[in-house]
Chains A and B, each alone.
Chain A
């Protein structure tokens, strides 16, 4: 397991244009980076900077025009189904119960129904969802729905999780609890996490490294190491070094957004 969990090698990408002859602007231009196994990396950047495009490339929804994307050192022709993706909205199916939503990735893999349900039941308590397996998503709070969504991601069985602003729709208190809870889970599952956010504080609190989108098209991501030890608690972000880093990053992002 010395291979990076995720590696981009000279990846270039632009969306296909609807019109012939016209070219959509290039979004990635020869981008290279890597994420180590078990690492927690956040990606920040202003909206429209191509963060979500990056996720579509990693999950395999889009293919790069040139360059290679490697998962655990392997190049796959089809990456779909190999990365655990947790979207911004919970995207639970309203017609399925919590159980049937969580079991979805197992169902798609063809795991026997009874085994699959048992796997979910074993994890419900861990996720603070005991007793709600027969409820519908509309009966749950926002935080609970996100936990179901994360449970579904965990059950995808991948060792790389992509979380796309998963807490951005939650209120501040729920959000803080969910951040702490996520760190606990991450330490337990020892997976690699790539976390998109536009909240600098959130990125610093959670991550080992922060990638910053600084330009379009992206040629290089600026990498920032977070000077904090683990395990962390919420007070860690009041560390003077971290505050300085936070101000630096905010300044950087603001420069990009200003007209």
Chain B
């Protein structure tokens, strides 16, 4: 994972070029409330730092973390249940897959109807959007465990429970982390969208409010923060993965 510096040259150049072009075009057009330049966004971020960092960021983080926590609990729980019971697998698996064809974002107003402008309407959207990758990846991971090692453990007199904890759980972990990486990035999207539709605080809510005031830079500033949150969450999962799956390094 630790790459040599030169591996980063190309992406750095590309991103720099992108921002320079954006800056030039924005200055050329000169309508800051529609297309603010990156420097204007940065200045806005600095000016709004107190309200963004201490009022809206905590609100959004609470939605993201609550949603992710519930999603992991339910997703892993359901994956384990489907792994243990063939009936549960037959009942839930097709539903979980087909649930992905429902545009969850379009459902968000329903949750606002049900839960009002509370935390839970936003948690519901985040939960539904992150539930799928966690459940499906964990379930596939549990099933990916080696049949041969399972038989070997049986010949050593292992019980079902021991096979689950000593073979299936370690085999599922890498898959679980893959699911979690997708989920954390989706969770930011879920929270932001839910906040557009019904909230009194949060980065998504703030961004939308700035739009009604034709404050272009004000729309972008919270988005910058949102993507930073997404990147940091992703890196935290990568770090956790590295710590708990030390053996993978050697492969």
B156 touches A94 (CB 8 A): no
B155 touches A85 (CB 8 A): yes
User: Which residue of chain A is the closest to B157 with respect to CB atoms?
Assistant: A81
* A contact residues, range: 20 to 34
Q: Which of B156, B167, B173 contacts A81 (CB 8 A)?
A: B156
Q: Which of B149, B155, B245, B251 contacts A93 (CB 8 A)?
A: B149
A87 touches B148 (CB 8 A): yes
Q: Which of B149, B173, B245, B250 contacts A91 (CB 8 A)?
A: B149
Complex Cα gap A107–B149 (Å) = 15
Complex Cα gap A85–B158 (Å) = 13
Q: Which residues of A contact B173 (CB under 8 A)?
A: 95
Q: For the complex, would chain B's binding face be called helix, strand, loop or mixed by DSSP majority? A: helix
**Does A61 count as interface, using CB distance less than 8 angstroms?**
yes
Q: Which of B153, B166, B251 contacts A94 (CB 8 A)?
A: B251
Interface residues of B, count at CB 8 A: 20
A136 touches B156 (CB 8 A): no
Q: Which residues of B contact A93 (CB under 8 A)?
A: 149, 166-167, 170
**Does B110 count as interface, using CB distance less than 8 angstroms?**
no
CB < 8 Å A-B pair total: 59
A108-B149 CB under 8 A given contacts A95-B170, A95-B245, A139-B250: no
**Does A129 count as interface, using CB distance less than 8 angstroms?**
no
Complex Cα gap A113–B250 (Å) = 25
Q: Which of B148, B247, B250 contacts A89 (CB 8 A)?
A: B148
**Does A178 count as interface, using CB distance less than 8 angstroms?**
no
Q: Which of B154, B156, B247 gathers most chain A CB within 10 Å?
A: B156
A108-B156 CB under 8 A given contacts A94-B251, A138-B251: yes
User: Which residue of chain A is the closest to B151 with respect to CB atoms?
Assistant: A61
**Does B50 count as interface, using CB distance less than 8 angstroms?**
no
B162 touches A61 (CB 8 A): no
Tell me the B residues contacting A by CB distance below 8 Å. 146, 148-149, 151-158, 162, 166-167, 170, 173, 245, 247, 250-251
16 of the cross-chain contacts (CB-CB < 8 Å) are: A56-B151, A60-B155, A61-B151, A80-B155, A80-B156, A81-B156, A85-B155, A85-B156, A87-B151, A93-B149, A95-B173, A96-B247, A97-B247, A105-B156, A108-B153, A138-B247
Nearest 6 A-B pairs (CB), nearest first?
A81-B157, A85-B155, A59-B155, A95-B170, A136-B247, A95-B247
